[in-house]
Amino acid sequence: MAIGDAGQLSRVARLLHVTQSALSKALAKIERSIGEPAFERTGAGLVPNRRGATLIRAARAALAELERAGDELERQARAQDRTLAVGAVPLYGDPLVIVAAPGHPLARRIRAGWGDCVEHPWVLPPPGHPTRIAFERALRRAGLASPGHVIGVLSNNLVIGLLAHSHALSLVPQRHARALAQSGLMQIVAAPLAASLGLSMEVTAFVQSGRADAADARSMLERLREAAGPRNGLADLEQATAAPEAATALRADA
């Protein structure tokens, strides 16, 4: 889609923070898979042909469907909240951390500020998703500009794939980020900055209304809390929040 919009590989490469050669290889792979070129090479740049236009329409439709799915999930979540609010029992809050692919330029900067992060593309849930709303509100409270280039994605696998082939950043729950880091798929970056934003994903258990104090329900909730670990192992970010430099990390280079 980006090639169809921009018309030039060099411009798309700068936008996605990838090399032009890597982008050319990706395009060549797509064209090999369909058996013919997807774009016509003209003096004005790359122009999608019939096959290319079909692929672009399909990609736009897929992204639109993901956004519709996100809206539907949000509506379902609101309906569940209204129906089961009495039976909702918070277990713990899992802080959201900033992640990138291993080898990302920010991985070498311990005190990266928002001025460093906002220059890169971001992969976030679609507009209207609770995480996206909370992120944008946190930026407004801190007086910071929103990222200029955001890709709306809900699929975890797609997030990992996009980050692996670009310099994009994303927000994921800390427990998930640590598991991905151990697998070598992602790296947590700008930890003091993430701590200063104070974003978290509340992990909640739902029990039948009026049974939260029942012995079997209490036993299950205790087992879930034990499995989650002591305070979800949040010592890292709590220390970062308390550190003096964390208070100024948001505005560094902003």
Residue closest to 205 by CA, chosen among 93, 94, 90:
90
Quick one: what percent of the chain has pLDDT higher than 90? 26
Helix runs in the chain, H state only = 2-6, 9-16, 20-34, 50-84, 114-117, 130-141, 156-164, 174-182, 191-197, 215-228, 235-242, 244-249
Quick one: what percent of the chain has pLDDT higher than 70? 78
pTM summary value: 0.55
Is 213 within 8 Å of 87 (Cβ atoms)?
A: no
Is 150 within 8 Å of 124 (Cβ atoms)?
A: yes
Higher per-residue pLDDT: 166 or 235: 166
pLDDT band at 234 (very low <50, low <70, confident <90, very high): very low
State residue 168's pLDDT score.
94
Indicate if the pLDDT at residue 237 is higher than 90. no
pLDDT band at 8 (very low <50, low <70, confident <90, very high): confident
Please report the domains of the chain, with CATH numbers, ordered by start residue: 2-48 (1.10.10.10), 88-249 (3.40.190.10)
218-238 per-residue burial string, b: 16 or more CB within 10 A, e: under 16: eeebeeebeeeeeebebeebe
Residue closest to 152 by CA, chosen among 60, 80, 243:
60
Residue closest to 243 by CA, chosen among 192, 174, 189:
192
Distance between CA atoms of residues 133 and 63, nearest Å: 19
- Range 153-163 average pLDDT: 88
pLDDT band at 105 (very low <50, low <70, confident <90, very high): very high
State residue 245's pLDDT score.
36
State residue 29's pLDDT score.
85
The amino acid present at 86, given as its one-letter code, is V
- Range 186-205 average pLDDT: 86
State residue 118's pLDDT score.
92
**What are 68-99's pLDDT values in tens digits?**
887 777 777 766 554 433 355 677 788 999 99
State residue 80's pLDDT score.
55
Indicate if the pLDDT at residue 133 is higher than 80. yes
State residue 138's pLDDT score.
92
